[in-house]
C-alpha cells in the first residue's frame, strides 16, 4: 500500500523524477527505492524511460510499477539518454523535474534541500556533488579517480566547492518552465547533454546553481571493459561539444587528449630513436646516432606520465587501501586514454560514424 498523495503547496510543489534506463537490472531497484524514501512531503511521481533491455530490467520494472502506482514505465525505443529524459519529462506532470541516474542513490533529504534551494535562489537548475563509492577494490579505485584532480580534473560537482552559480552541475533539479523554454535535452548529443542543456539555460538568462549540500552516491562501472567504453563514449561526445562550442569549453577538457598525444608521440619517437641508434652503430654513422640519441629522449614523456600515475596511485592507496592503489595503476590510464582518444575522434567530427557502428 502506498501513502495518499499530498496536495502541492507553494513551499512544497509537486516533483517528477525522470530516469532513463537501459540494461540496469543490477542498480535500478536501489535507485528507485532511494526516490520512494525521500523525506520530501510534497506530491511526486517517478517516470522511468525504459530502453530495449535484455538483462531482466524490463521484468523488474514491471513488478515495481505494479506494487507502487507512483512508478510509471514508458518506452524509450532508441535507448539513448537524452531521448529517454525527454519522453519522461513530457510524460511527467509536476512543475519540478528531478533528473535521476540508475547508478545514483539520492540521500533522503536530496529533494527537500534542492527544492528549498531553488525557491530561495530562483535558479532554473540546482545540483550538487556526485560522490562515487565502490563496493570492490576496482570500483573503489574508479571512485577515487572520480574524486581527484588526477582523475577527472577536480570539478566542483566531483570534489565540492562553494555554493553559487555554476557552469554545470551533476544530474539537476529543474524548473519545468525553463526546460520547456529552452527545448528540453538535445537528442543529437548522446553524452554531455547536461553541460549542453545548462549552456542553453545560462544563455537564456537562467541560473544554474551548485550547492555542496546535495550529495548523490554514484556506483562506478564494475569492470575495466565497461569503464573504458564509458569514458571512450564520454570523451567522444566531449570532443564533439568542444568542436561545436569551442570557446565555451574550459581548458581542462583538452588536458586528456593533449596528454594522450604527447605520451604516444614520445613513445614512438623513443622507439624510432632506438632503431636509429642501432642502425647508426652498425654503419658507424655519427649523424644517425646523434639523431637517434635525440629521439630516445622522447621516452621522457611516457616515463613522466608513469611517474605521475604512480604518485597518484600511492595517494589512492592511502585513501582506499593497497588493493585500491594497485587497481588505480590501471584505472587511471584507462580513464585518461579512453577519454582522450574519444575526445580526439569526436573533435575530428567522427562522432556520428563511430556511434553508428557501436550503437552508443
- The secondary structure of 242-305, three-state, reads HHHCHHHCCHHHHHHHHHHHHHHHHHHHHHHHHHHHHHHHHHCCHHHHHHHHHHHHHHHHHHHH
**Average pLDDT score over residue span 136-158:** 79
Task: Tell me whether residue 33 is in a domain.
Answer: yes
Residues 203 and 281 occupy one common structural domain: no
Per-residue pLDDT tens digits for 339-354? 999 999 998 876 555 5
Do 43 and 162 sit in the same domain of this protein? yes
pLDDT score of 137 more than 80:
yes
Query: CATH number, domain at 101?
Result: 3.90.550.10
Cβ–Cβ under 8 Å, residues 74 and 88: yes
What domain count does the chain have? Answer: 2
Q: Is there a domain that residue 123 lies in?
A: yes
Same domain, 40 and 147: yes
pTM given for the model? 0.78
Q: Any bridge partners for residue 58, and if so which? A: none
Domain containing 56 equals 15-222
**Residue 344 contacts residue 239 (beta carbons within 8 Å):** yes
Looking at the DSSP bridge assignments, the partners of residue 18 are 47, 99
Mean pLDDT of the chain: 88
Claim to verify: residue 189 and residue 271 sit in the same structural domain = no
More confident residue, 324 or 157: 324
Which band of pLDDT confidence, cut at 50, 70 and 90, is reported for residue 1?
Answer: very low
Shared domain check, 261 and 205: no
Q: What span, in angstroms and rounded, lies between the C-alpha atoms of 342 and 155?
A: 20
- Residue 249 reports pLDDT greater than 80: no
Rg (CA), the chain: 23
Of 181, 202, 222, the residue that ends a domain is 222
Let me know: does 76 contact 102? Beta carbons within 8 Å.
no
Within a domain: 242: no
Average pLDDT over residues 212-222: 87
Question: Around Cβ 19, how many Cβ atoms within 10 Å?
Answer: 26
pLDDT at 97 over 70: yes
Same domain, 95 and 161: yes
279 and 134 within one domain: no
Do 168 and 256 belong together in one domain? no
The pLDDT of residue 9 is above 90: no
In a shared domain, residues 264 and 322:
yes
**Bridge partner residues of 49 (DSSP):** 20, 74
Q: Which is it for the CA torsion 83, 191, 105, 24, positive or negative?
A: positive
Reduced to 3 states, what is the DSSP secondary structure of residue 174? Answer: strand
Helix 81-91 / helix 193-203 crossing angle, nearest 10 deg? 60
> Going along 265-343, which residue ranges are E strands?
none
Q: Which of these three, 181, 200, 222, is where a domain ends?
A: 222
Asked if 282 and 212 sit in the same domain, the reply is no
Residues 293 and 199 reside in one and the same domain: no
DSSP code, position 37: T
Is residue 28 located within the same domain as residue 129? yes
pLDDT for residue 158: 60
Q: What is the mean pLDDT of residues 149-156?
A: 66
> Does a structural domain hold residue 245?
no
Amino acid at each position: 500500500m502506498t501513502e495518499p498523495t499530498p496536495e502541492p503547496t507553494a513551499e512544497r510543489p509537486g516533483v517528477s523524477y525522470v530516469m532513463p534506463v537501459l540494461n540496469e537490472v543490477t542498480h535500478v531497484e536501489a535507485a528507485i527505492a532511494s526516490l520512494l524514501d525521500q523525506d520530501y512531503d510534497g506530491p511526486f511521481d517517478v517516470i522511468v524511460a525504459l530502453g530495449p533491455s535484455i538483462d531482466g530490467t524490463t521484468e523488474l520494472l514491471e513488478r515495481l510499477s505494479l506494487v507502487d502506482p507512483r512508478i510509471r514505465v514508458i518506452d524509450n525505443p532508441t535507448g539513448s539518454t537524452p531521448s529517454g529524459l525527454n519522453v519522461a519529462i513530457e510524460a511527467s506532470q509536476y512543475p519540478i523535474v528531478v533528473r535521476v541516474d540508475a547508478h545514483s542513490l539520492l540521500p533522503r533529504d536530496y529533494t527537500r534541500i534542492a527544492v528549498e534551494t531553488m525557491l530561495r535562489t530562483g535558479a532554473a537548475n540546482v545540483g550538487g556533488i556526485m560522490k562515487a563509492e565502490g563496493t570492490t577494490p576496482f570500483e573503489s579505485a574508479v571512485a577515487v579517480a572520480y574524486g581527484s584532480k588526477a582523475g577527472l580534473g577536480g570539478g566542483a560537482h566531483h570534489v565540492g566547492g562553494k555554493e553559487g552559480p555554476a557552469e554545470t552541475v551533476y544530474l539537476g533539479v529543474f524548473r519545468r518552465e525553463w526546460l520547456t523554454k529552452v527545448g528540453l535535452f538535445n537528442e543529437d548529443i548522446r553524452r554531455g547533454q547536461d553541460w549542453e542543456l545548462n549552456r542553453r539555460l545560462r544563455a537564456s538568462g537562467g541560473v544554474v546553481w551548485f550547492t555542496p549540500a546535495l550529495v548523490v552516491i554514484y556506483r562506478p562501472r564494475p569492470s575495466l571493459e565497461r569503464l573504458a567504453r564509458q569514458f571512450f563514449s564520454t570523451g567522444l561526445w566531449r570532443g564533439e561539444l568542444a568542436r561545436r562550442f569551442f570557446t565555451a569549453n574550459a581548458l581542462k577538457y583538452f588536458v586528456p587528449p593533449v596528454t594522450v598525444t604527447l605520451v604516444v608521440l614520445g613513445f614512438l619517437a623513443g622507439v624510432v630513436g632506438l632503431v636509429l641508434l642501432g642502425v647508426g652503430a652498425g654503419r658507424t654513422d655519427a649523424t644517425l646516432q646523434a639523431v637517434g640519441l635525440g629521439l630516445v629522449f622522447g621516452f621522457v614523456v611516457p616515463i613522466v606520465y608513469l611517474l605521475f600515475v604512480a604518485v597518484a596511485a600511492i595517494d589512492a592507496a592511502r585513501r582506499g587501501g593497497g588493493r585500491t592503489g594497485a587497481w588505480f595503476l590501471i584505472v587511471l590510464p584507462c580513464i585518461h586514454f579512453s577519454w582522450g582518444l574519444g575526445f580526439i575522434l569526436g573533435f575530428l567530427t567522427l562522432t556520428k560514424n563511430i556511434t553508428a557502428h557501436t550503437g552508443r
